[in-house]
Structure 1
Amino acid sequence: MTPHAGSVDHKPVALVERAPEERSMWDIPRTERDDPFQFGQRYLEDENAVWDHNAWDHVKWDEEQDALAKEKIAKQRENPVSTFDKNLYMSTPARYWDLFYRNNKANFFKDRKWLQLEFPSIYQRATQADSGPKTILEVGCGAGNTMFPILAANKNPQLKIFGVDFSHRAVEIVRESEEFDPKYTVADVWDLADESGALPVGLTEHSVDFIILIFVFSALAPGQWETAVQNMDRLLKPGGEILFRDYGRYDMAQLRFRSGRLLEDSFYVRGDGTRVYFFTEEELNTIFGKKFEVERIGTDRRLLVNRKRKLKMFRIWLQGKFIKPIS
C-alpha cells in the first residue's frame, strides 16, 4: 500500500555526522527540544542564492507561506468530494490500490537505499551476523523497495522479513521479483486496520522486532487509526520499534489538490482513487502515544526549486520512532 513511491518518495539527503558532544541531543526527551532529527546539511542562508541548487534543507516556514497554505486549504473546503463519491472511495479502497499496482509495474518504483541513514537501528540490531533471531514487518510493502534493500545488506542468517500489503497485485509483484528469497522473506496480503483481529500469515502476537511504516499510515482513514495502532501493539515485542515516515501538513502535494478532492480535513482522494492524509507532529504524538513511547518525531521540511522556471516547491515529511514499553 506504499503510495506513489516513484513520484513522491524522494531520497533524503544524508544526515549530518555530529561531534561527540552533540550526540547527547538524541537522549533529550521530545518535549525538551524542537529538532529531534537533523535532515540534510544544505541551508539557505542567502536568499539570493536560492537558485544555485535544486534543493535546500530545513527551510524556514514564514508567516506569508503559512497564510498562503491556509488560503489554498480554505478553497479546497469550498468544494469537497460529493457524498456519493466519498462513499465509493471510502468503501472500496483496496480496489484502487490494485488498479494502481496493475498500472504501475515494479520498475516504476525506486529502492529506498537511504534506509541506513534514516533508520540505522535496523542495520545495527537486525542485519548483523550476530544479531540473532530478528523479525521485521514492513506494512505496505508495495513492490518491495524497502524489504529488498534490507535483504541485500543482511548478514544475519536468522533474519525474517515479512512484507504485507493491502493490494493483492503489490504482493504478486514482490513474489515475482528475482530478489524475493523465501529463506528470508514472506509476502502476503494484510490490512493494517483489520478489525477482525487476524494477524499476518506466519506471525503471532508479540513476535515482531521492527515495524516499518513508510508513506503507509496516510492511506488509512482517520477512523481506522486506533485499530491500526492496536494491531501493531499486538504484533510488537516489548521494546520493539515502529519506524515511521509520511506526509506532513501543508506539503506541496496537499496544496496542489484542486476542488472535488477533499474527503475530510487533511484527507484527500487522488485522481487514481487512492487516499492520502497529511499529518502534524501533534497528531502523531496523540495517535501513537496512547500505546507507545514516542522516542522521536521530526519534520523534514525541504525547499525544491525549478531553476529553469524559477519555481519554489515545499516538501514536508514527518518522521518518527515509537517504542513499545517493556513493562
Structure 2
Amino acid sequence: MIGSNIKWVEGQVKMWAKSNHVIKTSRQSRRRLEFFLFSPPSSPRSLASVIRFPFHILFQGLSQSELYSSPNIMTVDPNIQEVTQNVEPPQAAPHRSHDPANNLKRTDPFQFGSRYLEKGDDVFEFNAWDHVEPDDEFKAFAETQYARQRETRVSDFDRNRFNNDPAKWWDLFYKNNTANFFKDRKWLRQEFPILADVTQKDAGPQVVLEVGAGAGNTAFPLLANNENEHLKVHACDFSKYAVKVMRESELYNEKFMTADVWDAAGVPGENGDSLPPGLTEGSVDVVILIFIFSALAPNQWDPAIRNIYRLLKPGGRVLFRDYGRGDLAQVRFKKGRYMAENFYIRGDGTRVYFFDKDQLVDMWGTWSAENGLQIPIGDETATEEASEKKTDESQPAEEPSAEANQLAKDNGAFEVLNMGVDRRLIVNRGTKQKMYRCWMQGNFQKRGGAEAEAATESTQ
C-alpha cells in the first residue's frame, strides 16, 4: 500500500512541514524518519514508530532553520495530527484478477482453469493465465519459425535412424535422466475423475493399463491413493530401462502393479501376440495415454489404436493427453529437427508430434476395427519405404467429405466423450516474456454392450 500512495504522502507531509514548521528532528534523523499515516490509530499518538520509510526525500528544499536539532525526536502539531488521522489516502481499486471468484479451483475436469486474461488486465500480474489464445505477434513468429523448420528437414539417413529403433533413444533418455525424470502427476485425479473412482474401496475388480509408463509417473501416484484391494495396474513401456527403473523402485508393489516391456504399436508376428504380458482381449477397464501418441510416427497410430481397442472391455475408457499444435515447444524447434509436418526429432533422439483438436476427434471417432484409421496422414508416415515411394510432397492427402466423415463417426469403434484444448500463457515477469503452451486432452469410450450405455450417462 505504501508504494501506491507515496506521492500523496509526500505532498501532504511536505506541504504541512513547510507551511507550519511542525516537523522537528535532528540532522542525523533526516535520512530515516519513522512514519505512520495510512490508518488512523485507535488512540491519540504521533506519526512515529509504526512504519519505517526512507523519508529524507520529503525534506529536500527545506532550509536548515526549518529543522530543529533535538536528539532524534519528531513532534507533530495536534491540529495536523487530527487532519492526518481523518484524511484517508486514495485507494486503488482491487485488480479484477484478485477477485476470489476468478481463482476458484475448477470442478469440471475439462474446464482447464479459471484465471482468464481480459481486456485491461496486467498480463504480468501472474505467472500463468488460462484459456489464452496466442496473440498476433506470436502467431506471426510461429509461422516464420515453421517456414524455417521446413527449409532444413532431417536427412533421410537420420530419419531412418530415429524411426527404425525408437526404443533405443528412449533407453538413452532414461539412462541420462535417472535422477530427475520422475514427476508425480498429482493432477491426474482432477483431470480424469474416473481414476479416483477405480481406486475407491468399493470399486471392485478394476484393471488399469498405463501405456508408456516411463518411470511410473502415473502408476505410482495412482497406487498411493488406492483403497481398492482388487485394483490391478499394468504399467508398460517399450524402454527396457524404464521398466527396470519401475521394478526397482521402493514404490513398486507386485500385489497391485505389474511393469512390462511392450510396444503399443506392435503388430502380431512370429513371436506371438501384440498384447502386453498378462493381458487378454477385453480385459482392461481404463487405458491411460499421457504424452504417448506424440512419440509415435503417424503410421503407428492405427496399430496402436487397434491394440488398445482389443484390450478394452466394452464401455472401457481411454484417457488421453498430449501436445497441441502451436505449443511453444513446437515453435522453438531449430533447423534440422523437422521430420514431417508437425512431427519433429528432439536433441536426445526422441520424437514428438503436435496434434490438432479436430484431428484427434476424427482419429478416435472414425476408427473402426474393419476399416482402421480414417484420417489422411500424407507423408507424415516418415518411414524409409514411404520416403522412397513419395513423388510430390507438396500434394496434400485427399480429405474425406463431411458426409463420409460423419458416417464413419457413427460407425466408429470409439465415442468421443470429451475433447478439450488446454491453453495456458506462461509469463516471465522478470524478462517480460510471454510463452504460449497448448495441450490436447480427451476422454474416449469403446462402444458396445450394456456397460458402455450405462457409462455414457455419466461422462467424467
| TM tier, smaller | 0.7 to 0.9
1:121 is aligned with what amino acid?
I
Equivalent residue for 1:307? 429
In terms of Rg, which structure is larger? 2
Moved more, 97-106 or 266-275: 97-106
Cα distance in 2 for residues equivalent to 1:131 and 1:17:
22
Equivalent residue for 2:171? 98
Equivalent residue in structure 2 for 1:45, among 110, 115, 118: 118
Equivalent residue for 2:69? none
Q: Return closer, same or farther for 1:272/1:14 CA change in 2, 3 Å cut-off.
A: farther
Cα distance in 2 for residues equivalent to 1:167 and 1:133:
28
Give the TM-score, by structure 1 length.
0.88
Cα distance in 2 for residues equivalent to 1:195 and 1:161:
23
Do the aligned residues in 1 keep the contact of 2:181 with 2:215 (CA within 8 Å)?
no
Cα distance in 2 for residues equivalent to 1:259 and 1:69:
14
Equivalent residue for 2:339? 263
Equivalent residue for 2:159? 86
Q: Residue 47 of structure 1: CA displacement? A: 5.0
Secondary structure in 2 matching 1:305: strand
Q: Return closer, same or farther for 1:142/1:15 CA change in 2, 3 Å cut-off.
A: farther
Equivalent residue for 2:307? 231
Q: Deviations over 1:49-74 (max 9, x none)?
A: 11111111111334443333222111
**How high is the sequence identity, in percent, across the aligned residues?**
56
1:210 is aligned with what amino acid?
V
Do the aligned residues in 1 keep the contact of 2:207 with 2:286 (CA within 8 Å)?
yes
Give the TM-score, by structure 2 length.
0.63
Q: Return closer, same or farther for 1:14/1:221 CA change in 2, 3 Å cut-off.
A: farther
2:261 is aligned with what amino acid?
V
Equivalent residue for 1:25? none
What runs of 5+ residues in structure 2 fail to find an aligned partner? 1-102, 368-412, 450-460
Equivalent residue for 1:17? 107
1:325 is aligned with what amino acid?
R
Do the aligned residues in 2 keep the contact of 1:16 with 1:38 (CA within 8 Å)?
yes
Equivalent residue for 2:237? 165
Map 1:1-327 to 2 at 5 A. Answer: 16-17=106-107, 37-46=110-119, 48-105=121-178, 107-124=180-197, 126-196=198-268, 197-289=273-365, 290=367, 291-327=413-449
Cα distance in 2 for residues equivalent to 1:253 and 1:246:
12
Secondary structure in 2 matching 1:240: strand
Q: Deviations over 1:7-44 (max 9, x none)?
A: xxxxxx985136xxxxxxxxxxxxxxxxx921011111
Q: Return closer, same or farther for 1:182/1:72 CA change in 2, 3 Å cut-off.
A: same
Q: Return closer, same or farther for 1:182/1:70 CA change in 2, 3 Å cut-off.
A: same
Do the aligned residues in 2 keep the contact of 1:15 with 1:38 (CA within 8 Å)?
no
Do the aligned residues in 2 keep the contact of 1:132 with 1:159 (CA within 8 Å)?
yes
Higher RCO (C-alpha 8 Å, min separation 6): 1
Q: Deviations over 1:49-108 (max 9, x none)?
A: 111111111113344433332221111101110111111111111110000000111543
Q: Return closer, same or farther for 1:163/1:258 CA change in 2, 3 Å cut-off.
A: same
2:292 is aligned with what amino acid?
V
Q: Residue 241 of structure 1: CA displacement? A: 0.2
Q: Residue 273 of structure 1: CA displacement? A: 0.2
Q: Residue 288 of structure 1: CA displacement? A: 1.0
Q: Return closer, same or farther for 1:14/1:152 CA change in 2, 3 Å cut-off.
A: farther
Q: Return closer, same or farther for 1:269/1:42 CA change in 2, 3 Å cut-off.
A: same
Do the aligned residues in 1 keep the contact of 2:112 with 2:130 (CA within 8 Å)?
yes
Moved more, 219-228 or 39-48: 39-48
Do the aligned residues in 2 keep the contact of 1:305 with 1:312 (CA within 8 Å)?
yes
Cα distance in 2 for residues equivalent to 1:42 and 1:95:
41
Cα distance in 1 for residues equivalent to 2:428 and 2:119:
17
Cα distance in 2 for residues equivalent to 1:94 and 1:16:
38
Q: Deviations over 1:232-286 (max 9, x none)?
A: 0000000000000000001000000001001111000000000000000111112
Do the aligned residues in 1 keep the contact of 2:174 with 2:181 (CA within 8 Å)?
no
Q: Residue 48 of structure 1: CA displacement? A: 4.7
Moved more, 59-68 or 75-84: 59-68
Cα distance in 2 for residues equivalent to 1:15 and 1:292:
30
Do the aligned residues in 2 keep the contact of 1:238 with 1:325 (CA within 8 Å)?
yes
Q: Return closer, same or farther for 1:15/1:245 CA change in 2, 3 Å cut-off.
A: farther
Cα distance in 2 for residues equivalent to 1:56 and 1:156:
37
- Tell me the C-alpha RMSD between the 2 structures: 1.5
Equivalent residue for 1:4? none
Matched positions, count: 297
Cα distance in 2 for residues equivalent to 1:152 and 1:194:
31
1:232 is aligned with what amino acid?
I
Do the aligned residues in 2 keep the contact of 1:167 with 1:189 (CA within 8 Å)?
yes
Cα distance in 2 for residues equivalent to 1:62 and 1:102:
39
Cα distance in 2 for residues equivalent to 1:233 and 1:76:
35
Do the aligned residues in 2 keep the contact of 1:106 with 1:143 (CA within 8 Å)?
no
Q: Deviations over 1:97-145 (max 9, x none)?
A: 0000001115432100111110111212x11111111000000101011
Deviation beyond 6 Å, 4+ runs, structure 1: none
Q: Deviations over 1:163-211 (max 9, x none)?
A: 0001000001100110100000000000000012421111000000000
